[in-house]
Structure 1
Amino acid sequence: MTENQHKINQLFSAVERLLKKQESISSDIELLRNEIQKVQDSEPKVETVQQQIPKEEVTTPPVSEPLKEEKVSTPTPVPTSSFEEQQITTSHKTETKRTIPPTKKPRTKNELEKFIGENLINKIGIAITVIGVALGTKYSIENDLVSPLTRIILGYLAGIGLLGFGIKLKKKYENYSAVLVSGAIAIMYFITFSAYNFYELIPQTIAFVFMVIFTIFSVIAAINYNKQIIAHIGLVGAYAVPFLLNDGSGKVAVLLSYMSIINIGILIISFKKYWKPLFYSSFGLTWVIFLAWFAAEYQQQEHFNLACIFLTTFFVIFYVTFLAYKLIKNEKFGIENIVLLLINSFIFYGLGYAILSGHETGKELLGVFTLCNAIIHFVVSVVIYRKKLADKNLFYLVAGLVLVFITITIPVQLDGNWVTLLWAAEAVLLFWIGRAQKITVYEKLSYIVMAIAFFSLVHDWFAAYNSYGYAYTKVPFTSIFNIHFLTSLLVIAAFGGIQYINSDKKYTPAFGKKNGLTKIISFLIPAALIFISYFAVRFEIVNYWDQLFNNSSVSLETDGDTFANQYSNYSLWNFKSIWTLNYSLLFFSILAFVNLKKIKNTSLTYISLGLLTLVILIFLISGLYELSELRETYLDKASSKYFVRGFFYIGIRYVSFMFLALAIFLSYQLIRQDSIKKKIHIPFEILFHITILWVLSSELIHWMDMGASEQSYKLGLSILWGVYALFLIGLGIWKKKQYLRIGAITLFGITLIKLFVYDIAHLNTISKTIVFVSLGVLLLIISFLYNKYKSTITNETTD
């Protein structure tokens, strides 16, 4: 038997095995269909699952390769309680459930009526009752219907009766009872305040004892009933009492003490319950009332001690109230908790600062007061950390407040550069903790401190400029070795450290790696670093030359009198501009070099290229003009008797050209990078040739001026431009660059327009002849080149 015949037999055997398996599977499917039919007969209205199981289709599978021999076992018939049946039954039930979606039972009219009758009406009723008692009392006061003592006694009786009736109904009607009890408590507050503040029937001590008793009772009742409504009406609602019955007596101490008692009651409740609406209401009302009083009626001499005491009291009460439930229940805090804690802290600090700054002794304690704020938060953070009383985020938040107030202490107590240094150091610390320890609150705070440090440094720069270089001051100035430059270096180091941490990929940013804010921040941090690094040295250069200018002023005397005018060496301002441009060319060249060799960032490549292009254009427009001014000053012998005019007035132009050449070379290296789009090459090459022609034109004018040949400016420039246009034509043909040839033709056109419109008007016959002949020859050469290489140009254009 041949080898092929043996393989064919193996394949037929494999096909037979597969057919047997197919028959077995068909038998299993038939059994399952029978079971499904039984279920369908028992529940005829239920949709079956049979539709999901297609009928068997016996097909011969394609044979791709010989199959090995394997034993075929006959499958055991599937019983009715098999796992497959359970799966189908489960699927069947699932499908049944999906066909009947749950519907929300609408609220009936009876339920709505029940809500209004049992809950809403009683609250409205008790509120109207309390208002009615207040109005009735006020009417009786205004019309003197009953004596003050009778009014107070009747008020207490009404409150006690309402309280007793409410307590009696507690077992059967708890909600209704709670409303009555809360209203009774509000009436008790109302009557006690009236008895003390308006009629002086009871002394202050007794009135406060009563209010403390009512507060304690309100706390007990609110916790016992577990009803926030009691606390709302009985405590927070009591805030309205002083304003409803205000007689303009101005008893501020009574009002603030009254508010303190109410807030203490809320504090006690917070140890058992954390009723947010209660806390928010009390918090808002207290600070609004205190701020309104401070803005309208605060008098420094009369209210200083009072304001300090109650400001501190309210701050401590709300601080402890905020922490009480969080620490006891170990509950995590959300954004609203952060906002409340920050508002409480900064209202306390802001009002405290305002109170102290207006006091003769207090304004000397502003730094101490700020530091005390930091100490308070520090003590709280230490207790939370050591006792492990809450989640770490609460600790980080409180610790962050410590850093914030230490930061504020710096400008309050110190001046000048120390403020900037400490803020920069704090920004690094916060950013490192935020990234390394994954504490997003710290990282977000660091961005605020970074901005503060940045603007503080800018302020220091301008302060230094005003001291050294402005208004003809003669304050001693030492370049580099001064506190302002040292501050700049340390801030550069701080932002450099922040950028190093930010570029480390093992740390996750606070806003996420793909968030838009993260991308903005990743751009702003290095941008700030580059900005600070550039201007730190630039300001040193500017201040140095301004200092020299200020010190150069001289006074002239004639016949014993001193002229009012002073003479200064204005050339020093030209040197300042030139050295500023030289430094700019050098700085951005170094930035480009570092990016090429070390950073290799595409975005920074484009930024460096843009900055170099900008500085080159500024140099061409402004720098060459300043160099020409120095040349004119050097040639002016009249001013040399007052100030020395050295050879560097001429030589500095070639120093500047070296910086310009370095910038052009680095720009060329940048556009050669693979990440740079090819379209940028053409604008750069055009800029390069414009720069060369501009510098050559400046040099031509310079040496003609030095040789006292001012009348030849026009002749020389026209010939130079024509020669350069010819050079561009030849280069464009050689390199097959059409844009160079077009640029050359444009340059030649400009030269011809200049020749006929401007040059020939003031040239003598010989000069005109030289210009016309020269340009004519150049045009003939250009035409010859175009004719000689027309096939090359045509093929290049076609391609």
Structure 2
Amino acid sequence: MDKSEKLNLLLIKLENLLLRQQGFEAEIQALRNEVRALQSLGSVTMPSAINPEPTTIPPIRNTVPGAVIQTSAIPQPRTAPISPSASQNQPNLAERFKRENMVKSDFEKFIGENLISKIGILILIIGVAIGAKYAIDHDMISPLTRIVLGYAVGVGLMAFAIKLKVKYENFSAVLVSGAIAIMYFITYAAYDFYALIPQALAFALMIVFTSFTVVAAIKYNKQVIAHIGLVGAYAIPFLLSDGSGKVGVLFTYMAIINIGILVLSFKKYWKPLFYASFGLTWLIFVSWRLDLSSSYNYFGLALLFSSLFFLTFYITNLAYKVSKKEVFGFSDVIILLLNSFVYYGIGYLILSDNKNSAELLGLFTLANAVIHFVVCLVIYKKNLADKNLFYLILAMVITFITMAVPVQLDGGWVTVSWVVEAAVLFYLARIKKIAIYEKLSFPLIFLAFFSLLEDWITYYDFYNGNTIVITPVFNVGFLTASIFITCFFWMFSISKKENEAPVQLIWMSKILRYSIPAILIFAIYFTFRIEISKYFNNLLQLSKINLNPKTKLDYPSSEYNYNYLTLKTAWIYIYTLFFASILSYLNIKKLKNGEFAIANLIINLLVIILFLTLGLYNLSELRDTYLIPESKYFTISSFNITTRYVAIAFFALLIVQCHWLQRSGLLKKDLKTMFDFLLYLSLLWIISSELINILELSHSADSYKLGLSILWGIFSLFLISMGLAKNKKHLRIGAMVLFGITLIKLFFYDIYSLSTIAKTIVFVSLGVLLLIISFLYNKYKHLIIDDAKVEN
């Protein structure tokens, strides 16, 4: 087929479609007219149909030789009037009005056949109860007659309901529920108020009525029977209450009703029924417990029935979902948590109010965890429900174990329990990919950390008020901190290997990414720092001298070697220098983490500043104590001076680590200039301090003037030399600034108190240094020029 044949066929199809479109438009217009006519008020006549002119397909010429076109295959347009199709649309509109009327009819039917009957039976029961109470209060009929008449009404109503079941099932179900409520009503009254039947018989009858209610609700498949027959029965004891306070009977009665609902839950999952029973039971129980005037009343009774209600609702909430293996919804989880924590709160109140059971609070908390653990284990072993329910209940086990720790234990054991629990949860969250465990580990990590801080604060408070000696390392505090460090190191290792958290926990993962290593470093540092403090505190306590043995007072009859406190501070600075050096070394050699390198740099700078200021001042105090002892009862050894050089050695180690950190490339910035300033400024500070130390030990006068001025001048010359040799302009400028400070010090501070010989030495020395510096600049000026060219 050539192009002309294809074109001819396409034109024919296009013309055919256009003709069909005209027919559809005519039909649509006719339908629109009918709809407008029906919508107009008072219009009942149908509009005349629009009959389009019959359209025929013009004869098609075979423009292509040999092309045969079958016109019978082309759909013909409609030439008949449109009105028949419009009339066919009338039943559809009628169906629409029929459906609207049916909606109205269904609503009316719901009110007339369903709602009114329920309201009626409820009002009937209330009326009978009020009338019975009136008859009772006025002794109108004997107690036995009242009970017999009550049972007769209940049985008659039940028989009438059963007879109507075949034709009027809904109405029959309402009557059955009312009859059951009346049976409860009469049985309770016969036992509690008139003692016409024994307790065993009363409970047996209630069990029978409950069983019948369960069976009836299942047979009728009507939730209303359970609502009125079971939940409605909660109101009976209060309607007939005479204030006798027989709570044991009331709670037993409520327990029987709840057990009936439990049985129903295995067959039906009627949430409104369960919610009503749950809310009413705990509301009644909590109101009664909070209203007790004496905390020792009904101890066993309250504990027994609260436990029974808790277990009943626990099993009820799980029964249907587990049997059908359905996923727990949000409301199911809320009820499960609410039931557990309401019961725990009530139990905690009951036990804490009784002085004989207050020590059992931790055991009670742990018992809650055991209950949840048993349920969790059964669900896991039998594969009864989805994994989310298993994880939820296991999370509750962990929660109650967490709560049991501070309730029963104290001190470091709380910290140990929480940190071990946090580590295990974090492991399960990252390795087993269980998101809920990471949610639980998140608060536990910080709880354990704050608990450790509280342990340390408690130690310091204890030490300040006592003179007890605590052996360093071999003590409970160090054991607690060691376990804490081990757990956090474990979590840190896991987070490095398994750093991917669930999408919904990305924010939490980011916080833990920085929090875990930060807390780990903090804990390691302060753990050993505290042990150093314990060692020197012990030495202080052991140095005690009783100046007046006949008196029992510690002050002023006792003397201590307070040099140990100064030594303690010095060795804490030494330990801090060593700790910062180790951190930098580990990162450079092992971790190689850029973010941690920034933290290393900040920590190192802070430690350097603290040592150059407060640390060196503390070392000068050690020197002064060595030269002039504060007490005649103690001999200060040269260990004070040795400590100084140990500290300087570890300071040099930290400077070396800063150099390696700058060269490692982890900082991703060129910090050579900053390191030069840090190195040479630290060096100047240390040698200045050492000069003062040597002059003080040699008992030389004017050590802060003559010696420092000459030293600073020599150091300026050294910086100039280094700046010229290494072509570092910032060192040369720094040298000039230092020499300027030295000259200012010379003219405004040194000159007024120095002797003539000292002034001569200082001025001559500085003059010679200035001449040397000038000579160096002239000799190596080509280096400076070249340096400038390079910079340009």
Category of TM-score, reference length = shorter chain: 0.7 to 0.9
State whether structure 2 residue 325 is matched by structure 1 residue 333.
no
Q: State the one-letter code of the partner of 2:245.
A: G
- In 2, Cα distance between the equivalents of 1:785 and 1:230? 110
Distance 1:43 1:185, change over 3 A: farther
Query: Equivalent of 2:598, from 570, 595, 606?
Result: 606
- In 2, Cα distance between the equivalents of 1:744 and 1:127? 101
State whether structure 2 residue 37 is matched by structure 1 residue 42.
no
Alignment match, 2:469: 475
Alignment match, 2:77: none
Q: How does 1:251-266 map to 2 (within 5 A)?
A: 251-266=246-261
Query: Equivalent of 1:385, from 380, 383, 386?
Result: 380
Distance 1:419 1:37, change over 3 A: same
Q: SS in structure 1 opposite 2:465? A: coil
State whether structure 2 residue 683 is matched by structure 1 residue 692.
yes
Distance 1:182 1:607, change over 3 A: farther
- In 1, Cα distance between the equivalents of 2:234 and 2:550? 85
Alignment match, 1:643: 634
- In 1, Cα distance between the equivalents of 2:737 and 2:3? 87
Distance 1:39 1:558, change over 3 A: closer
Instruction: Please state how far the C-alpha of 1:792 moved relative to its aligned partner.
Output: 5.8
- In 1, Cα distance between the equivalents of 2:105 and 2:765? 108
Distance 1:610 1:336, change over 3 A: farther
Instruction: Please state how far the C-alpha of 1:627 moved relative to its aligned partner.
Output: 0.3
Q: How does 1:525-604 map to 2 (within 5 A)?
A: 525-557=516-548, 564-604=556-596
Moved more, 582-591 or 557-566: 557-566
Moved more, 254-263 or 147-156: 147-156
Instruction: Please state how far the C-alpha of 1:331 moved relative to its aligned partner.
Output: 1.9
- In 1, Cα distance between the equivalents of 2:774 and 2:149? 119
- In 1, Cα distance between the equivalents of 2:486 and 2:590? 18
Deviations 1:461-495 (A, max 9, x none): 4555566x543523351x33444434433332232
Distance 1:239 1:720, change over 3 A: farther
- In 2, Cα distance between the equivalents of 1:213 and 1:763? 113
Alignment match, 1:4: none
TM-score of the superposed pair, with normalisation by structure 2 = 0.77
Q: How does 1:54-453 map to 2 (within 5 A)?
A: 111=103, 114-115=106-107, 118-119=110-111, 121-122=115-116, 174-175=169-170, 178-179=173-174, 181-182=176-177, 185-186=180-181, 188-190=183-185, 192-194=187-189, 196-197=191-192, 203-297=198-292, 299=294, 301-359=296-354, 362-363=357-358, 369-370=364-365, 372-402=367-397, 417=412, 420-421=415-416, 423-453=418-448
- In 1, Cα distance between the equivalents of 2:406 and 2:691? 57
State whether structure 2 residue 510 is matched by structure 1 residue 519.
yes
- Counting matched residue pairs gives 718
Distance 1:320 1:767, change over 3 A: same
- In 2, Cα distance between the equivalents of 1:514 and 1:384? 27
User: CA RMSD for the aligned pairs?
Assistant: 4.4
Alignment match, 1:73: none
**Aligned residues of 2:696 and 2:703 also touching (Cα < 8 A):** no
Instruction: Please state how far the C-alpha of 1:142 moved relative to its aligned partner.
Output: 7.1
**Aligned residues of 1:736 and 1:796 also touching (Cα < 8 A):** no
Instruction: Please state how far the C-alpha of 1:554 moved relative to its aligned partner.
Output: 1.1
- In 1, Cα distance between the equivalents of 2:588 and 2:330? 44
Distance 1:238 1:531, change over 3 A: farther
Q: SS in structure 1 opposite 2:635? A: coil
Instruction: Please state how far the C-alpha of 1:248 moved relative to its aligned partner.
Output: 3.3
- In 2, Cα distance between the equivalents of 1:29 and 1:168? 81
Distance 1:302 1:692, change over 3 A: same
Q: SS in structure 2 opposite 1:271? A: helix
Deviations 1:325-381 (A, max 9, x none): 122112233454444434434444454444345556545655655554454444434
Alignment match, 1:490: 483
- In 1, Cα distance between the equivalents of 2:160 and 2:440? 55
Query: Equivalent of 1:500, from 481, 493, 505?
Result: 493
Distance 1:323 1:752, change over 3 A: same
**Aligned residues of 1:183 and 1:234 also touching (Cα < 8 A):** yes
Instruction: Please state how far the C-alpha of 1:589 moved relative to its aligned partner.
Output: 1.6
Instruction: Please state how far the C-alpha of 1:267 moved relative to its aligned partner.
Output: 0.3
Percent of aligned pairs sharing the same letter = 51
Q: SS in structure 2 opposite 1:564? A: coil
| Structure 1 stretches lacking a partner, 5+ long | 1-22, 48-76, 81-104
- In 2, Cα distance between the equivalents of 1:428 and 1:606? 27
Alignment match, 2:75: none
- In 1, Cα distance between the equivalents of 2:550 and 2:274? 86
- In 2, Cα distance between the equivalents of 1:666 and 1:367? 50
Distance 1:558 1:334, change over 3 A: closer
Distance 1:554 1:439, change over 3 A: same
**Aligned residues of 2:266 and 2:323 also touching (Cα < 8 A):** yes
**Aligned residues of 1:428 and 1:498 also touching (Cα < 8 A):** yes
Q: State the one-letter code of the partner of 2:495.
A: N
Deviations 1:666-696 (A, max 9, x none): 2232233434242765555444444333323
**Aligned residues of 1:465 and 1:543 also touching (Cα < 8 A):** no
Distance 1:36 1:214, change over 3 A: farther
- In 1, Cα distance between the equivalents of 2:128 and 2:526? 72
- In 2, Cα distance between the equivalents of 1:138 and 1:687? 95
- In 2, Cα distance between the equivalents of 1:581 and 1:786? 41
Distance 1:203 1:590, change over 3 A: same
Instruction: Please state how far the C-alpha of 1:728 moved relative to its aligned partner.
Output: 5.3
- In 1, Cα distance between the equivalents of 2:418 and 2:537? 30
- In 1, Cα distance between the equivalents of 2:587 and 2:557? 51
Moved more, 620-629 or 489-498: 489-498
- In 2, Cα distance between the equivalents of 1:367 and 1:258? 31
Instruction: Please state how far the C-alpha of 1:273 moved relative to its aligned partner.
Output: 1.2
State whether structure 2 residue 609 is matched by structure 1 residue 631.
no
- In 1, Cα distance between the equivalents of 2:684 and 2:376? 69
Distance 1:648 1:156, change over 3 A: same
Instruction: Please state how far the C-alpha of 1:602 moved relative to its aligned partner.
Output: 1.9
- In 2, Cα distance between the equivalents of 1:792 and 1:108? 99
Alignment match, 1:74: none
Q: SS in structure 1 opposite 2:245? A: coil
Deviations 1:209-247 (A, max 9, x none): 443344333323332333334433433343344445544
Distance 1:561 1:523, change over 3 A: closer
Instruction: Please state how far the C-alpha of 1:389 moved relative to its aligned partner.
Output: 2.5
Moved more, 130-139 or 280-289: 130-139
Q: SS in structure 2 opposite 1:279? A: helix
Alignment match, 1:620: 612
Q: State the one-letter code of the partner of 1:494.
A: C
**Aligned residues of 1:40 and 1:46 also touching (Cα < 8 A):** no
Instruction: Please state how far the C-alpha of 1:298 moved relative to its aligned partner.
Output: 7.0
Deviations 1:53-85 (A, max 9, x none): xxxxxxxxxxxxxxxxxxxxxxxx9x99xxxxx
- In 1, Cα distance between the equivalents of 2:291 and 2:766? 86
Instruction: Please state how far the C-alpha of 1:409 moved relative to its aligned partner.
Output: 5.7
Instruction: Please state how far the C-alpha of 1:731 moved relative to its aligned partner.
Output: 5.5
Distance 1:131 1:776, change over 3 A: farther
**Aligned residues of 2:604 and 2:658 also touching (Cα < 8 A):** yes
Instruction: Please state how far the C-alpha of 1:164 moved relative to its aligned partner.
Output: 6.1
